[in-house]
Amino acid sequence: MQPAEDDKFQFDLGIEDIYLLYDCVCRRIQTWEGSPQRHPFEQEHLWWLRDELYKCVLEHKYTDM
């Protein structure tokens, strides 16, 4: 489930920021408590966020390395 269009934000992040966020999301996935403590949607959203951040990493490697 994607957020509504008016709920979106934009950031100017460097590749170092992307790597850091990617690492944080991956670690959160590893330590996710699971249901019923956390809503199952949270895990799905973390997977989506991890994949989107990794797309940024791959784009950087393809275009800037």
Q: Where in the chain are the domains?
A: 20-27+34-58
At 15-61, the pLDDT tens digits run 999 999 999 999 999 999 998 999 999 999 999 999 999 999 999 99
pLDDT at 7 over 70: yes
* CB-based burial label for 51 (10 Å; 0-12, 13-18, 19+): exposed
pLDDT at 14 over 80: yes
Count of C-beta atoms within a 10 Å radius of residue 21: 17
- CA dist 7 and 2 (Å) reads 10
Nearest alpha-carbon partner for 25 in 56, 8, 49: 49
